[in-house]
Amino acid sequence: MAEKSPAEAAVGGVPELVGNDLAAAEHLFGDRLDLARRYVRHLATSGLERGLIGPREVPRLWSRHVLNCAVIESEFPEGARVADVGSGAGLPGLCLAIARPDLHLTLIEPLERRVHWLEEVVADLGLANVAVLRGRAEQVAGEVDADFVTARAVSALATLVPMTLPLLRGSGTLVAIKGRSAAEEVEKAAKAIRKFKGHSVDVHTVGESLLEEPTTVVRIDVGEA
């Protein structure tokens, strides 16, 4: 019998884990996989209804979104404080919070309806390691205490750098999830990176052994080289 696609494996509109995605999810979430499943159910139901994700994304919530984000957990040391800028539907912030309960996540989101949704999901999943902060990154820099800042699908790096590096208050690391044009974005952002004292820029992929399409990450350090 042929293996079902995520769309064919969907139950009640919620995509089920099958094949390689199941193996990857078990590795990344371990005994918290049920929490990850509940999160995906939120995304596929209330997240869809409130416009946080588009209907075409539902069948690929696991492969393209949740696993793509969760795999960057390897970028953070034990107990790190991580700010997720433009968190939206909790990507990657909630994925990291579920996969790594030792991390301390601050989800930064300016839109009120998204903030309410994030707060509801955090409460339902009982994620004690997550705080939700409403505002633009530029407005809340003085309220956030973070060792790392992350973002996905927010803006090009030249715009993202001025938004995120100030949150680190002079010391820390940006871990940005990017696409295949990451190296080109780095080149275009060179002036902004220098302006905000970024250095040791590194473009690499994570999850090669877990995902069919590994996740591309751009790391930029701030502080002493």
219 annotated ligand binder: no
137 annotated ligand binder: yes
CA distance 57 to 161: 27
Helices 33-42 and 19-29: crossing angle, nearest 10°?
120
Yes or no: say if 79 and 26 are a contact pair by the CB < 8 Å rule. no
CA distance 40 to 16: 9
138 annotated ligand binder: yes
136 annotated ligand binder: no
Strand 198-206, strand 215-222: pairing: antiparallel
152 annotated ligand binder: yes
For residues 107-138, one letter each, b for 16 or more C-beta atoms within 10 angstroms of the residue's C-beta and e for the rest, the string is bbbbeeebbebbbebbeebebeebebbbeebe
> Which parts are annotated binding residues?
86, 91, 137-138, 152
Q: Which residues are documented as binding site for S-adenosyl-L-methionine?
A: 86, 91, 137-138, 152
